[in-house]
């Protein structure tokens, strides 16, 4: 891969990551306000964001893990949650830590919740993979997708 191809590949993976958060949130019945990726900064293609309504329960953990879950499915190179932890997903782990702190869970409770939510996030995204790809394509094209459009991209497959 040359530099331009590498940059495009990172942008695509980044869009898939954010689409994972968005699609899993919608599949869980959460409201999503918007999703965005930074298409203008080739040096920091890892920048992206999804704004969703927090639920205050463990589905929030599933939603936080779903960016990395989408990457794992898309990369299909044996990447794992722990491998991605120090990279793109580090902000997601901070959010999970904050959530766990607020809940006062024990270390073993935290481990079992995270284990379950990892499995759940992969299941949800595999079941909705065409929606992840549709959303990622829209993000790559425009950099920003509103909640209504995200919902439409998510629901598109149900009409068929
Ligand atoms: Zn993320």
C-alpha of residue 68 to centroid of ligand 1, in Å: 6
Read off the pLDDT of residues 104-126 as tens digits, 9 standing for 90 and up.
889 999 999 999 999 999 999 99
How far, in Å, CA of 45 to CA of 37, rounded? 8
C-alpha of residue 61 to centroid of ligand 1, in Å: 11
**Under 8 Å CB-to-CB from 89, ≥6 apart: which residues?**
17, 67, 68, 71, 81
Domains in the chain, please, with CATH?
Answer: 3-149 (1.20.58.760)
Between 46 and 106, where is the model more confident?
106
- Cβ(18)–Cβ(143) under 8 Å? no
C-alpha of residue 104 to centroid of ligand 1, in Å: 23
C-alpha of residue 160 to centroid of ligand 1, in Å: 30
Strand ranges across the sheet with 48-52: 48-52, 32-37, 144-146
Phi, psi (degrees; rounded to nearest 5) at 85: -55, -40
C-alpha of residue 158 to centroid of ligand 1, in Å: 26
Answer yes or no: is pLDDT of 41 > 70.
Answer: no
């Amino acid at each position: 891969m040359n530099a331009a191809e590498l940059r495009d590949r990172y942008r695509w993976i980044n869009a898939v990551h954010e689409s994972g958060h968005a699609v899993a949130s919608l599949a869980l019945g959460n409201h999503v306000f918007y999703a965005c990726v930074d298409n203008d900064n080739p040096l920091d293609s890892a920048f992206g964001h999804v704004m969703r309504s927090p639920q205050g329960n463990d589905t929030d953990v599933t939603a936080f893990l779903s960016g990395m879950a989408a990457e794992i499915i898309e990369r299909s190179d044996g990447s794992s949650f722990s491998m991605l932890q120090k990279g793109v997903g580090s902000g997601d782990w901070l959010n999970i830590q904050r959530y766990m702190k607020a809940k006062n869970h024990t270390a073993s409770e935290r481990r079992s919740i995270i284990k379950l939510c990892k499995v759940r996030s992969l299941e949800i995204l595999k079941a909705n993979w065409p929606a992840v790809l549709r959303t990622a394509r829209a993000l790559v094209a425009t950099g920003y997708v509103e909640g209504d459009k995200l919902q439409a991209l998510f629901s598109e497959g149900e009409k068929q």
